[in-house]
Amino acid sequence: MAEETENLRELIERARYVLFDFDGPICRLFAGHSAERIAAGMVRGFAERGLRGPLPEEVLKSGDPQAVMRAVAARHPGSDLITEIEEQLTQEELKATDTAWPTPYADPVIQTWVQLDTRLAITTNNSARAVTKYLESRNLTRCFAPHVYGRTQDLDLLKPNPYCIKRALSAMGAAPSDALMIGDAATDHEAAVEAGVTFLGYARNERKMRLLRDAKVKREHIVSSLEPVLEILRTKG
């Protein structure tokens, strides 16, 4: 345990820039606004249009709106449908911010890092509009603005593509070696590695832990709570 704490301390203390994924490390966006229901509605809309070819079975079973959006985009690359479905998901994410659950310890972790003169950004596959709305509701806008980098209508740029991470680094004038990415998905890890940024995984349950370990994230680079991160930051301060 002491060795794990020291590994975590090293990651945190050398970071001059911290890039957060949004849904997971900062909040549970769909805690009160079912992602499964949204995904099912998107699938129904796709079917009602009579568009060619069924979506893959794993997508239909996933209950993941982003997986549905990606699958539709793969079926109809370059079509106006992609713009429409991306905006549909954005509207659902905006609604979801009203019932999102803050991740335990996330707010004080963010505020303490800012007090230590660390620069923060959000690099996410969610809509930047939804992120901004949530941050405003928690009085966290000043901690990140203007560095919120979310989904564009070019879905090829979603993580694991490192596009949003590289945008953040460039805008802040940050060297990858000075940055730390906090995420809860294999795609976050892959994007961070591709961008040359150190990764800290957040796994709120065993399923998330398993997915991160399957993605070759070191166990000592995964936390199941942000509480130890906060404790290290307070000690650093």
Tell me the pLDDT band of 145, cut-offs 50, 70 and 90.
Answer: very high
Residue 12 pLDDT > 60, yes or no?
A: yes
Higher-scoring residue by pLDDT: 169, 83? 169
pLDDT at 1: 54
Claim: this prediction has a pTM higher than 0.85 = yes
Residue 53 pLDDT > 70, yes or no?
A: no
Residue 50 pLDDT > 70, yes or no?
A: no
Maximum Cα interatomic distance, the chain, rounded to a whole number of Å: 59
Contact between residue 183 and residue 213 where contact means Cβ atoms under 8 Å apart: no
> So what CATH class is 2-29+100-236?
alpha beta
Residue 55 pLDDT > 70, yes or no?
A: yes
Q: What percent of the chain has pLDDT over 90?
A: 75
Average pLDDT, the chain: 92
Residue 116 pLDDT > 80, yes or no?
A: yes
- Measure Cα distances from 26 to 77, 114, 122, 202 in Å: 32, 15, 10, 10
Residue 4 pLDDT > 80, yes or no?
A: no
* Mean pLDDT, range 59-85, rounded to an integer: 85
Residue 73 pLDDT > 90, yes or no?
A: no
Tell me the pLDDT band of 153, cut-offs 50, 70 and 90.
Answer: confident
pLDDT at 167: 98
Strand ranges for the chain from DSSP E? 17-20, 27-28, 101-102, 119-123, 148-149, 179-183, 198-202, 222-223
pLDDT at 3: 65
Q: Is 203 exposed, middle or buried (0-12, 13-18, 19+ CB in 10 A)?
A: buried
Tell me the pLDDT band of 51, cut-offs 50, 70 and 90.
Answer: low
pLDDT at 237: 60
Tell me the pLDDT band of 83, cut-offs 50, 70 and 90.
Answer: confident
* 16-43 confidence digits (pLDDT tens): 999 999 999 999 999 998 899 999 888 8
